[in-house]
């Protein structure tokens, strides 16, 4: 542990790297050299696997402390190479290892490799490992997931794969002519789909086994999916272009696994909740709006979980912050789509009118000629046809997400009330994150905002209503009907002022459940 902490510092790891003891450790890390690395040694210590990972994280830092470590790297991975080659032969039926020996060996090797990959911090180091591991040994991970889907080995491999596909420090950067990013996601898709299908087929009879039996695996599915979608090393449009279903299959299983977990469980298991809202935040950034549809049950589930997690006050505000970020991205897309729709309708108007990109209630009411049709399969959105001059051929049909939001204003209103209450009355560490989606929610339903704030003022004591009304009026002072960066900054400043003024008064709060029925 002490050596691991020392190797984190740049200056100290450089000195330690030059020691003869360090060089000996890098040359000799076989199971024959250290008993705790022996895969067949059954230890009752549950922390042994964690020690292996930490040990190789430390050795990896020492290995890459030298600028030119290519030759040292190939010598360092030679023991694993020998072991994995033997396992390849055994899986093909021509080796001498038993099934249990293979399982135990892989259990140790993937813990070790996870430690090695964890400390890789730049492109050169990652490419060395990638060149060695792919495509020679990635089939082992896939085959092991197939054979031991309900074993601890599947969890260990997924944890390694999560680290392997995490693009921290932009270390996963391939050449522009290289297909490796796409191939890496395709391998990820194969592993996730195999593991995800196994999770769907599991039935947990004992409620106390929900985490170990199912939810831990779902959490890892979400984690791997999140880092893969946000890694920016694969152009996902290529999959649609060439008819590759790798992304579609991952999303389909994501929706199914999501619905397989009750909302209460999703928000009450902390690790599962963090993984879920992390992938929802990433999904809402780009991939969500690129789909030609989403099942309404999935959309309802997503909004329901966000409504459940935001009111929860805990020391870890990560989940509520990510939920607010996702809401803000959804509102931003819908409002921008509405603004573009208004510009299209004003094509023949005066140029000055066209520059007015603010929205009024009429724009929200007339944007859709009718509900868009929802299909039942995941697919990427088809491009809208253009005429010979590059203009849109007719008015494009309302995007399904715009249609859903405008058709379910009560859902958005409920989210607004939860966030308004949190911003005005609760002492949260993530006040900025909570206030961020408020402006979008207000602009999507200004009539509800006006009605709600009026009743909020009327609910206060008569001698304070004037002061409260002044504070409410200040919330939208200088704010325009758009989501530009400058407009957001003005609203954020107004929100901070509103919160400070509310904290100086004793006010009556509205219960969102009661208010939505009253309004």
Separation of alpha carbons 338 and 366, rounded Å: 10
166, 208: one domain: yes
**Residue 443 confidence (pLDDT) above 90:** yes
274, 135: one domain: yes
User: How far apart, in Å, are the Cα atoms of 450 and each of 271, 338, 473, 487?
Assistant: 38, 21, 10, 19
**Confidence label for 393 from pLDDT (cuts 50, 70 and 90):** low
The top-scoring range by mean pLDDT among 131-140, 425-434, 495-504 is 131-140
* Residue with more model confidence, 156 or 25: 156
Among candidate residues 361, 379, 399, the one where a domain is terminated: 399
35 three-class SS:
helix
Nearest residue to 62 (alpha-carbon basis) of 29, 18, 32: 18
pLDDT at position 73, please?
Answer: 95
Separation of alpha carbons 486 and 493, rounded Å: 11
Residue 174 lies in a domain: yes
Q: What is the pTM of this model?
A: 0.88
Q: Which residues sit opposite 291 in a β-bridge? A: 380
Average pLDDT for 403-426: 92
199, 223: one domain: yes
pLDDT at position 253, please?
Answer: 97
Q: What is the pLDDT of residues 25-52, one digit of tens each?
A: 888 887 766 766 776 655 545 566 678 8
Could you list the residue range(s) of the whole structural domain that residue 494 is in? 407-518
The sign of the torsion formed by the CA atoms of 502, 506, 511, 514 equals: negative
Separation of alpha carbons 288 and 325, rounded Å: 14
The top-scoring range by mean pLDDT among 32-36, 115-119, 420-424, 513-517 is 115-119
55, 151: one domain: yes
pLDDT at position 235, please?
Answer: 93
Average pLDDT for 445-473: 91
Separation of alpha carbons 315 and 427, rounded Å: 12
**Confidence label for 360 from pLDDT (cuts 50, 70 and 90):** low
**Residue 469 confidence (pLDDT) above 80:** yes
Q: What is the pLDDT of residues 420-441, one digit of tens each?
A: 999 888 888 898 999 999 999 9
Q: Which residues sit opposite 59 in a β-bridge? A: none
Among candidate residues 399, 420, 449, the one where a domain is terminated: 399
Q: What is the pLDDT of residues 224-252, one digit of tens each?
A: 999 999 999 999 999 999 999 999 999 99
Percent of the chain's residues with pLDDT above 90 = 62
210, 297: one domain: yes
153, 264: one domain: yes
Separation of alpha carbons 348 and 341, rounded Å: 13
Q: What is the pLDDT of residues 63-96, one digit of tens each?
A: 998 888 899 999 999 999 999 999 999 998 887 8
Q: How many domains does the chain have?
A: 3
Separation of alpha carbons 497 and 491, rounded Å: 10
**Confidence label for 366 from pLDDT (cuts 50, 70 and 90):** low
Find the length of the chain. Answer: 519
pLDDT at position 322, please?
Answer: 97
Average pLDDT for 265-280: 96
pLDDT at position 389, please?
Answer: 45
375, 283: one domain: no
391, 479: one domain: no
Among candidate residues 378, 399, 420, the one where a domain is terminated: 399
181, 248: one domain: yes
394, 413: one domain: no
């Amino acid at each position: 542990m002490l050596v691991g902490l020392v190797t984190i510092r740049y200056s100290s790891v450089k000195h330690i790297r030059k020691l003869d003891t360090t060089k000996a450790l890098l040359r000799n890390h076989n199971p024959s050299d250290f008993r705790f690395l022996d895969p067949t040694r059954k230890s009752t210590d549950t922390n042994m696997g964690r020690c292996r990972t930490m040990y190789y994280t430390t050795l990896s830092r020492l290995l890459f402390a030298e600028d030119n470590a290519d030759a040292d790297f190939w010598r360092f991975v030679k023991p694993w190479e020998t072991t994995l080659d033997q396992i390849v032969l055994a899986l093909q039926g021509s080796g001498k290892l038993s099934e249990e020996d293979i399982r135990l060996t892989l259990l140790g090797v993937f813990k070790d490799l996870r430690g090695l990959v964890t400390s890789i911090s730049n492109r050169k180091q990652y490419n060395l490992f990638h060149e060695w591991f792919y495509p020679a040994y990635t089939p082992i991970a896939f085959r092991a997931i197939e054979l031991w889907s309900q074993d601890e080995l599947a969890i260990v491999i997924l944890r390694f794969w999560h680290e392997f596909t995490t693009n921290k420090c932009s270390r996963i950067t391939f050449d522009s002519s290289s297909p490796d990013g796409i191939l890496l996601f395709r391998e990820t898709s194969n592993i996730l789909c195999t593991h995800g299908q196994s999770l769907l087929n599991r039935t947990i009879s004992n409620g106390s086994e929900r985490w170990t039996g199912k939810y831990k695996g779902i959490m890892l599915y979400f984690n791997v999916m999140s880092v893969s979608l946000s890694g920016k090393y694969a152009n996902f449009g290529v999959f649609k272009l060439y008819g590759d279903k790798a992304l579609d299959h991952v999303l389909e299983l994501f929706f199914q696994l999501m619905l397989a977990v009750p909302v209460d469980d999703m928000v009450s298991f902390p690790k599962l909740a963090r993984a879920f809202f992390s992938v929802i935040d990433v999904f809402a950034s780009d991939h969500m709006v690129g789909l030609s549809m989403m099942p309404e049950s999935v959309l309802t589930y997503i909004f329901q979980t966000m409504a459940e997690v935001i009111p929860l006050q805990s020391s870890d505000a990560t989940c509520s912050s990510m939920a607010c970020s996702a809401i803000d991205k959804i509102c931003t897309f819908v409002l921008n789509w509405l603004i573009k729709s208004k510009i299209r309708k004003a094509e023949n108007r005066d140029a000055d009118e066209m520059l007015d990109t603010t929205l009024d209630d009429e724009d929200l009411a007339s944007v859709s000629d009718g509900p868009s049709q929802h299909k039942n399969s995941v697919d990427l959105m088809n491009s809208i046809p253009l005429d010979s001059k590059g203009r849109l051929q007719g008015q494009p049909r309302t995007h399904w997400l715009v249609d859903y939001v405008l058709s379910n204003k009560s859902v958005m209103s409920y989210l607004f009330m939860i966030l308004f209450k949190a911003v005005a009355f609760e002492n949260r560490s993530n006040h900025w994150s909570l206030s961020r989606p408020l402006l979008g929610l207000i602009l999507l339903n200004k009539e509800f905002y006006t009605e709600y704030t009026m009743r909020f003022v009327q609910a206060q004591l008569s001698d304070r209503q004037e002061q409260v009304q002044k504070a409410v009026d200040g919330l939208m002072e200088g704010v325009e009907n758009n989501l530009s960066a400058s407009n957001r900054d003005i609203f954020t400043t107004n929100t901070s002022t509103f919160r400070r003024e509310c904290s100086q008064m004793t006010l009556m709060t509205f219960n969102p459940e009661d208010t939505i029925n009253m309004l």
